Amino acid sequence: MDRTIGTLIKIAVPIVIGVVVILILNSITSASCLNDFEGCLVDGGMDTDLAGLIAISLGVVLVATFPLLVTILLIWIERKFAARIQDRIGPNRVGPIGLVQPLADVVKLLGKEDITPAGADKWLYNASPVMMVMSVLLIWAVMPLTPYHYGIDLEIGILYFIAVASIGTLAVIMAGWSSNNKYALLGAFRVVAQLISYEVPLALALLVPVMLAGSMSMVGIVEAQAGMWFLFSAPIAAFLFFISSQAETGRAPFDLLEAESELVAGYNIEYSGMKFAMFFAGEFMHVFTNGVLMAVIFTGGWYGPFAREAPLLAFTYLMLKSGFWYLLSLLMRNALPRVRIDQLMTFNWKFLVPLSIANLLMTAFLLKLVQEGGLAPSPEEASDFIANIPQTVVLFLGNVALAAFVMTLIRNQGREERLAEDAGEPSDLTVTPAPAGD
Amino acid sequence: MVPLWMFLTAAAGLFAIGAYGVLSRRNAVAILMSVELMLNAVNINLVAFWRFQTPMDMSGQAFAAFVFVVAAAEAAVGLAIIISVYRGRRSVTVDDVDLLRW
Amino acid sequence: MTFGDLTYEAFAFGFFTILTLGGALGVVANRNLVRGAVWLIVSLFGVAGYFVLLSAPFLAAVQVLVYIGAIGILFTFAVMLTRSMTNLNERYNQQWWIAAVTSIALFGMLVLLVILPVFGEQETAVSDVVATTADLGVALVSGDAYVLPFEVASLLLTAAMIGAIVIAREEE
C-alpha cells in the first residue's frame, strides 16, 4: 500500500513541479525581448535590415541546434530503455543514473584517429556524413514547434519533407562508393534499394492527411486537427507512415543493413571516429524526427488544453506526443526479430504499396461522399470536437473495412500455404538450403 | 526582381553547355547527363515565361511537370539500354557501338 | 529588403547561377565520371533554386524529389555499374572543337538575336498575383485543362518502367 503511494508520489510530484515551472517560465518570456527579438534590436537603435538579418540568423541557429542537442539525450534514453527490456540495468557508472554517458561516448569518438582509406575519393568521403546529417536537419525547418514559432511555413511542407528525405539516399551511395571498398559498395546498394522502395508507401500514406487537411503545409495540417486527430480519421495511413518511416531510417525490424553480423558489408565500415559518429547521430536524430512528424501529422502536434495561451505548454505537448511515438519505435526495435532482404522487399511491394493505394482511393471516395452528404463539419465549427464526429466515424469505418478485407486475404493465403505444406509441397516462405558441396 | 532576360540567358547558357557535352563526349552515360542538362534548361525557360508573362494561367507549370515526366522516362530507358550494351560489349564508348555503320 | 544596391534576390540569383552553370561545366569537363554525376546533382540543385525564385515551390520540390532523389541516383548507379577496365579513354571525341564553336555560336545567337531584342525591356512580371499549387492540382485533373496529357504521362511512365526492367534484366 505505501509502495503504491510512494510510486504515485514519485510520478505526480515531478509532473506538478514541471507544469508549474513551465507556466512561470511562460509568463516571464511572453513580454520581453525573447518574443520580439527584432523589435528589441530596432528599439536599441540598430538598422532595420541588419536587425532582421540577425533575428533570422538567430532563429536558424536555434532551430538547427535543438535536434542536435536532443540527440545527446536520445542516446541515453535508447540505451536505458533497451537495457531494461533486456532485463539489465544499462549505463549507470558515468554520472547519476548514467546521464553523462553520451558525453563520454562523444569524447571517445572525438579522440579516435581520423583516417581516410587509401584510394578513397577524399572529397566525397568527407562530404557523405555531412550530407546524411543535413538531410535530417533540413526537416526541422518546417516543423511547427508552437503556435507561433516555426522555421518557415512552406506552402508545400509535406512535399519538402519527402524531397529532403530522398537526399539521404544520395549520402549513402556516396559513402559506399567513396570508401573504395567493394563490400561497402554492395552494402550501400542494398541500403539504397531498401530506402527507395519504402519511399513509395511513405509518400502515398502522407497523401491522406493532406487530403483531410486540404493543404500540404505542416502548420495547416496541425491547424486542421483542431477538432479531431487524424489518427482516428485515418488509422491505416498512420500505420503505413509509421512502418515506412521505420524502414526509411534503417531501424529494426528493418535493420538488416547495420546488423552486427552484416557489418562487414555495411556502407559505413570504412568510417571511424567523428565521421562514424555523424552517421550514428544522424540515425538517432532521424528516428526522433520521425516521432515528431508522427505527432505533428497524425496526433495534433502542439494541440492540447491552453496551448495557444502558453506556447511553452504547447511545445511540451508536442514533445510528450513525439516521445510516445519514439518510445514505441524503440519498443519495436527491441522486441522484434530482423527481416531478411527478400522478405523486406516482398513486404513492401506486395503488401504496403497495394494497401497504400487502396487506402488512398477509399479515403478520397469516402471524403467526397461525406462532403456531398453534408456530414462534413462546416468551416465555422471545424474546431469543434462533436461536429467532427460524423465524418470521422465514416472514415474510421472505411478504414476498418479495408483492414478487415486485407486481413481476410492474408488469412486465406496463410491457410492455403499451411495446407500445401501439410500436403508436403514446399512453400515460398521456407528457404531450402543449397545442397552442400556446390 | 531579377529581370526576365537574366533567367533566359542562364537557361541559354545551360543549354549551350549541355549541347557541347552531347556533341563532344565519348561516354554514353556522360552524353545522357548532358541531355538532362538541356532538359533542365528548357524547364527553366518554361517556368520563367510562366512567371513573367502569364502568372495566373497554370499552363507553364503543367508543361514543366510533363517535361519532368518525359525526362525521367527517357533517363530510365536510356540507362537500361546502356547497361544492356555494356553487358554485351563491355564498353560504353559510343564509338564502339558501330555494328550498323556503313 | 536592400543591402545597398544588392538585393537579397539578386544575391540568391547569382548564387544559384554559379551552382547551375558551374555544375554543368563540371559535368561536361570531368575525367572521373562519378565526380561528374555529383556535379550533375549540384547543377540540379541550382535549377531547383531557380524554381523557388520564380515562385514555383511545387516544381522546386518535385525537382529535388524526382531529379536528384531518383534520376541522380540512377545515374550514379549506372556510372558505377559501367566502369570500363581502363580509364585511358579520352574524354572528348575528335570533333570537340567544332562542338565548342557550335555551342558558343548557339549561345551567342540565342542571347543576342532572340533574348535581348525581344525580352530585353521587360523588367518586372506582368502581375505579382501568382496562382498557387492548388490551382496546379486542379489544372492537372480538370476536364477542360490537362487531364488527358496527365493520363498519357502516367501511361508513358508505366511503359518506361516495364521497358527498362525488361531491357536491363539478365538473360536467364
Question: For residue range A372-385, what is the model confidence (pLDDT) as tens digits?
Answer: 887 777 776 667 77
The domains of chain B are located at 4-96
At C1, the pLDDT band (50, 70, 90 cuts) reads: very low
Spatial CA neighbour of C55 closest among A164, B50, B41, B9: B50
Q: What's the total number of domains in chain A?
A: 1
Q: How far apart are CA A361 and CA A348, in angstroms?
A: 18
Identity of residue A179: S
Spatial CA neighbour of A395 closest among A238, A162, A290, A200: A238
Q: How many residues does chain A have?
A: 438
Place of cell 503488401: A351
Q: A323 lies in a domain?
A: yes
Identity of residue A353: V
Q: Spell B62-85 as b/e; 16+ CB within 10 A means b.
A: bbbbbbbbebbbbbbbbbbbbbbb
Kindly report the nearest CA distance between residue C83 and chain B, in angstroms: 8
Q: Spell C128-141 as b/e; 16+ CB within 10 A means b.
A: eeebebebbeebbe
Using an 8 Å CB-CB cutoff, list chain B residues near C146.
59, 62
Q: A381 lies in a domain?
A: yes
User: Chain A interface, mutation test: which of C1, C9, C39, C64, most A Cβ atoms within 10 Å?
Assistant: C64
User: Chain B interface, mutation test: which of C82, C94, C141, C144, most B Cβ atoms within 10 Å?
Assistant: C82
* A177-181, A189-193, B23-27: range with lowest mean pLDDT: A177-181
Cell numbers given for A98: 548514467
Whether the bond between A253 and the residue before it is cis, its omega within 30 degrees of 0, is yes
Q: Do C95 and B33 touch (CB under 8 A)?
A: no
Closest-CA residue of B relative to C55 is B51
- Put simply, whether A162 touches C (Cβ < 8 Å) is yes
Q: How far apart are CA A239 and CA A244, in angstroms?
A: 9
Residue A206: pLDDT over 50: yes
Q: A344 lies in a domain?
A: yes
CB pairs under 8 A between B and C: 257
pLDDT (0 to 100) of residue A36: 64
Q: A225 lies in a domain?
A: yes
Spatial CA neighbour of C109 closest among B16, A203, A419, B86: B16
Q: Do C27 and B10 touch (CB under 8 A)?
A: no
- Put simply, whether C94 touches B (Cβ < 8 Å) is no
Whole-number average pLDDT of chain A: 83
Spatial CA neighbour of A165 closest among A249, A229, A70: A249
Using an 8 Å CB-CB cutoff, list chain C residues near A185.
80
What's the whole-model pTM score?
0.88
Q: Do C92 and B53 touch (CB under 8 A)?
A: no
Q: Do C107 and B33 touch (CB under 8 A)?
A: no
Cell numbers given for A194: 531498401
The angle at the Cα of A310, spanning A306 to A315, to the nearest 5 degrees, equals 95
C5 to each of B6, C2, C8, C52, how far by Cα in Å? 17, 7, 10, 22
Cell numbers given for A117: 582509406
8 Å CB contact between A192 and C73: yes
Q: How far apart are CA A151 and CA A291, in angstroms?
A: 18
Q: Do A169 and C3 touch (CB under 8 A)?
A: no
At A27-62, the pLDDT tens digits run 666 555 666 666 666 666 667 777 777 888 888 888
Q: How far apart are CA A262 and CA A258, in angstroms?
A: 6
Cell numbers given for A70: 536532443
Q: Domain limits at A188?
A: 117-418
Residue A214: pLDDT over 60: yes
Q: Do C78 and B82 touch (CB under 8 A)?
A: yes
Q: How many residues does chain C have?
A: 172
| Contacting partners of chain C (3+ CB pairs under 8 A) | A, B
The CA radius of gyration of chain B, in Å to the nearest whole number, is 17
Q: Do B5 and C164 touch (CB under 8 A)?
A: no
8 Å CB contact between A191 and A197: no
Identity of residue A14: P
Whether B and A touch (3+ CB pairs < 8 Å), yes or no: no
Using an 8 Å CB-CB cutoff, list chain C residues near B81.
167
B95 vs A282, more confident: A282
Closest-CA residue of C relative to A128 is C38
Please give the average per-residue pLDDT across B32-52, as a whole number.
93
Q: A378 lies in a domain?
A: yes
ipTM of the complex: 0.91
- Put simply, whether C113 touches B (Cβ < 8 Å) is no
- Put simply, whether C131 touches A (Cβ < 8 Å) is no
Q: B4-96, what's its fold? A: Helix Hairpins (1.10.287)
Closest-CA residue of C relative to A161 is C61
- CB-side exposure of C55: number of CA atoms within 13 Å? 20
A113 three-class SS: coil
Strands (E), chain C: 2-3, 6-7
* H or E element in which residue A198 lies: helix A182-213
Please give the average per-residue pLDDT across C50-77, as a whole number.
91
Q: Do A166 and C77 touch (CB under 8 A)?
A: no
Q: A63 lies in a domain?
A: no
pLDDT (0 to 100) of residue A72: 87
CB pairs under 8 A between A and C: 64
Identity of residue C151: E
What residues pair up with C6 in beta bridges, in sequence order? C3
Spatial CA neighbour of A66 closest among A215, A256, A285: A285
At A222-242, the pLDDT tens digits run 988 888 889 998 999 999 999
Q: A254 lies in a domain?
A: yes
Handedness of CA A55, A59, A62, A68 (dihedral sign): negative
Kindly report the nearest CA distance between residue C126 and chain B, in angstroms: 6
At C86, the pLDDT band (50, 70, 90 cuts) reads: low
Place of cell 557535352: B21
Cell numbers given for A275: 565521421
- Put simply, whether A185 touches C (Cβ < 8 Å) is yes
User: Chain B interface, mutation test: which of C15, C65, C132, C167, most B Cβ atoms within 10 Å?
Assistant: C167
Q: A251 lies in a domain?
A: yes
Contacts of A68 (CB under 8 A, 6+ apart): A137, A281, A285
- DSSP designation for A329: H
